[in-house]
Structure 1
Amino acid sequence: MRVVAKFGGTSLGSGDRIERAADSVADAVAAGHDIAVVASAMGSQTDELLDEISFDASDEDRAEIVSMGERTSVRMLKAALTSRGVDATFLEPGSEDWPVVTNERGEIDAEETQRRVDRLAETLDDTVPVITGFLAEDPAGNVTTLGRGGSDTTAMMLGKYLEADEVVIVTDVEGVMTGDPRVVEGARNVGSITVDELRNLSFRGAEVIAPSALVYKDESLGVRVVHYQHGDLLSGGTSVEGSFEHLIDMEEAPLSCLTIAGRAIRNRPGILAEVSETLSDAGINIDAVASGMDSLTYYVETSVAEEAEATLHDAVVEDESLSSVTVEDEIAVIRVTGGELPNQPGVIRSLVDPLAEAGINIHDLITSATSVAIFVAWADREETLDIVHEQF
């Protein structure tokens, strides 16, 4: 089996932890597996280096300085592997076999990186490459960085380009947990989680795998998250299932928009739950919901809009903080989900501007961590879909 093992800063935060990491790699090699290692800076060394740059440093100098954390880690881990009889070599920007290359804009040069990774793959039978995470090399040979969570990106990208069986993310959490164990009593490990679920959690603060790294996850690439104390690269932890692709989807049936107005809505704890529950009790599915300072908006299929209006009207009559409910029919929704969507500055404008130029009025726009839903008049749905396809 071919495995890319990424060790996070915490898992390399001391000599004992480096020893533990080396043991797990040596055991996997002894079992006959091809292993490539990606190493983060030890502990919080990168952040500490950044904090010390109090002067006006150029981008090139800054990248060279912060690269020292990863450069130290790969040397330490390579030496620990060698002491265990494992044939290992460390790779950093400037090395003859360095694989990760960016273009002039600082983006991954996929074609050149794939070419170099193919060459790296030929050596895996004989040696364990220990590769600096987070770092890359531009066409001129200068050190560049892959941004926050860049070591995860390095590992996932190498896993894809090496056609690895699995990427194992070794970190300081026991896989993905049902909640933060520092806050929630009884939090437990989740055996498996989908890429969609994990990306949404990651964009909302869960520090498991960097969201941008999961772009490289496809169906053929296994991904697991394990605790550094686990000691086994080949089992345990949380398995990340599926793939996260760029999807553009248009709801086939028209929707109706029901809006409840009320001056005191913003000051009513639980009002959204209470109103939504009335629709749930009536067996009405909510396609989307949005809230404003003085309103709640629900999108439901037009076929149940009349029943939904009557249900919400009863809620308005019973609650003095609500004043009225209105309905607008024949609404279409086009959703864009996944890929690099959350990492694209100006992505909302890239959708809104062409629609405005085409004279299409946007009825509503609802965003989440990994998707955008565009609501337009039903008559404009096909043209809107064509414009969204052109943008993505």
Structure 2
Amino acid sequence: MRVVAKFGGTSLGSGDRINRAADSIANAVNSGHEIAVVASAMGSTTDDLLDEIQFEASDADRAEIVSMGERTSVRMLKAALESRGVNAVFLEPGRDEWPIITNDLGEVDVEETTKRAAALESNLDHVVPVITGFLAQNHAGEITTLGRGGSDTTAVMLGKYMHADEVVIVTDVEGVMTGDPRVVEGARNVGQITVDELRNLSFRGAEVVAPSALSYKSGQMGVRVVHYQHGDLLTGGTRIEGQFENLIDMQETPLACITVAGRAIRNRPGILAELSQTLREADINIDCVASGMDSITFYIEEDLAEEAEALLHEQVVSDTTLSSITVDGGVAVIRVTGGELPNRPGVVQAILSPIAEAGINLHDVITSATSVALFVDWSDREETLEIVQSEF
């Protein structure tokens, strides 16, 4: 099996941990597996170096300075592997074999990087490359960086271009947990999770795998997160499944929006649960929910709107904090979904501006970490779809 193993800063934070990492790599190599290694800076070295830059520094100088953490890690890990009889070589920007090349804008040159990754791949049965994470090199030979979480990006990118069977992210958490164990009791490891689920969690604070890295995951290649104390690269942890698909989708049937108004409804604990439970008991699915300071809007299938209105009206009448209910039918929804959306500054404006220029009124815009849902009049659906498709 071909594996790209990424070791985070915590997993390389001391000599003992470097030995543990080297043992796990050596065991996998001795079992006949092809291993490439991506190493982060030891401990908090990168942050410490950035904190010490108390002067005006160019981007080039800053990149050179912060690169020293990763440069140290790969040398330490290469030496530890050699002491275990494993043929290893460290790779950093400036070496002829260095794989990750960016253009003048700092974007990865896919063609050149793919070619260089293939050269590494062809030699994996002879040597273990230990590669600096986070760093890249432009065509002029200058060091560039891959941004926050760049070591994760390095690993998954190289896994993709080197046709790895699996990328293993070795870190200081037990894979993906059901909740933050520092906050909630009984948090446990999730055996598997989809890339879309994890991407949404990552953009909402879960520090497991950098969101930018997940864009490179293909459906065929596995990605797994394990704790550095586990000691086995080939088992355990959380497996991340699937891959991002960029989609523009229009719902085939019309929706209705049912709006319940109430005084300071946002300060009424449990009101959303109560209204949703009423619809649930009638087996009415909620497509989307939008809330304001004094209202909650449910989007449901239009042919269920009359039943839903009657049920929710009963609650409005019996609840003194609720004022009224209204229904508007003939609503269409167009969704733009893609793993790259969060990495595109101004993406929502890019979607909305041409729609506004066409004179199309939006009922609602609801966003998540990886999607934008546009609610328009049913009569405007085809034109809206054409506009969105032309932009993306």
TM normalised by structure 2 equals: 0.98
Q: C-alpha distance in 2, partners of 1:264/1:174?
A: 42
Letter in 2 for 1:188: R
Say what the alpha-carbon RMSD is for the aligned residues: 1.0
Q: Which residue of 1 aligns with 2:272?
A: 272
Which shows bigger deviation, 149-158 or 265-274?
265-274
SS of residue paired to 2:102: coil
Equivalent in the alignment of 1:208: 208
Q: CA separation in 1, counterparts of 2:351 and 2:67? A: 37
Residue aligned with 2:140, SS = coil
Secondary structure of 1:164's counterpart equals coil
Distance 2:138 2:326 in 1: 57
Distance 1:318 1:111 in 2: 65
CA-to-aligned-CA distance 1:52-88 (integer Å, 9 cap, x gap): 1121111111111111111111011001001111110
Q: d(CA) in 1 for partners of 2:301 and 2:279?
A: 12
**Aligned residue identity for 1:57:** A
DSSP 3-state at the match of 1:99: coil
Partner of residue 336, structure 2: 336
The equivalent residue for 1:68 is 68
Q: CA deviation at 1:196?
A: 1.2
* 1:14 counterpart residue number: 14
| Aligned amino acid, residue 376 of structure 1 | V
- 1:358-369 correspondence to structure 2 within 5 Å: 358-369=358-369
Alignment of 1:252-331 (within 5 A): 252-331=252-331
Matching of residue 88 in structure 1 with residue 88 in structure 2 = yes
Residue 40 of structure 1 is matched in structure 2 by: 40
Q: After TM superposition, list the pairs within 5 Å mapping 1:371-382 onto structure 2.
A: 371-382=371-382
Query: How far apart are the structure 1 equivalents of 2:173 and 2:389?
Result: 39
Q: What displacement does 1:262 show?
A: 1.4
Shift of 1:249: 1.3
**Aligned pair 1:179/2:179, yes or no?**
yes
Q: CA deviation at 1:357?
A: 1.7
The aligned amino acid for 1:162 is M
Post-superposition offset of 1:338: 2.2
Superposed displacement of residue 337, structure 1? 1.4
Instruction: Give the secondary-structure state (helix, strand or coil) at the position aligned to 2:167.
Output: strand
Separation in 1, partners of 2:149, 2:223: 16
Return the offset for 1:279.
Answer: 1.3
Alignment of 1:119 onto 2:119: yes
Moved beyond 6 Å, runs of 4+: none
1:92-241 alignment to 2 at 5 Å?
92-241=92-241
Unmatched runs of 5 consecutive residues or more in structure 2:
none
Distance in 1 between residues matched to 2:352 and 2:369, nearest whole Å: 18
Question: What is the distance in 1 between the residues matched to 2:200 and 2:225?
Answer: 16
| Residues in 1 aligned to 2:266 and 2:232: alpha-carbon distance in whole angstroms | 51
> Match for residue 77 of structure 2?
77
In 2, Cα distance between equivalents of 1:161 and 1:67: 23
Alpha-carbon separation, structure 2, partners of 1:187 and 1:149: 24
How many residues align? The count is: 392
User: How far off its partner does 1:104 sit?
Assistant: 1.3
| Whole-Å separation in 1 of the counterparts to 2:298 and 2:166 | 42
1:248 aligned counterpart, secondary structure: strand
Aligned to 1:390: 390
On the 8 A contact 1:251/1:332 being kept in 2, the answer is yes
* Structure 2: distance between partners of 1:367 and 1:17: 41
Report the secondary structure of 1:226's partner residue: strand
Deviation at 1:103, TM superposition (A): 1.1
Distance 2:119 2:172 in 1: 32
* Amino acid across the alignment from 2:297: T
Displacement of 1:254: 0.2
CA positional deviation for 1:269: 1.6
| In 2, Cα distance between equivalents of 1:211 and 1:273 | 31
Amino acid in the other structure paired with 2:185? E
3-state secondary structure, aligned to 1:323: strand
**What is the letter of the counterpart of residue 10 of structure 2?**
T
For residues 186 and 353 of structure 2, the distance between their equivalents in structure 1, rounded to whole angstroms, comes to 48
Cα distance, 1:11 vs structure 2? 0.4
Per mean C-alpha deviation after superposition, the further-off stretch among 356-365 and 14-23 is 356-365
C-alpha distance in 2 between matches for 1:126 and 1:227: 28
Instruction: Give the secondary structure class of the aligned counterpart of 2:297.
Output: strand
Q: 1:180, 1:217 → 2: CA distance?
A: 25
Taking the aligned partners of 2:257 and 2:184, their CA distance within structure 1 comes to: 38
Amino acid of the structure 2 residue aligned with 1:151 = S
- Whether the 8 Å contact between 1:215 and 1:245 is mirrored in structure 2 is no
Does 2:249 align with 1:246? Answer: no
Where do 5+ consecutive residues of structure 1 fail to align? none
Q: 1:294 Cα shift?
A: 0.9
What is the Cα deviation at residue 205 of structure 1? 1.0
Identity of matched residues, %: 75
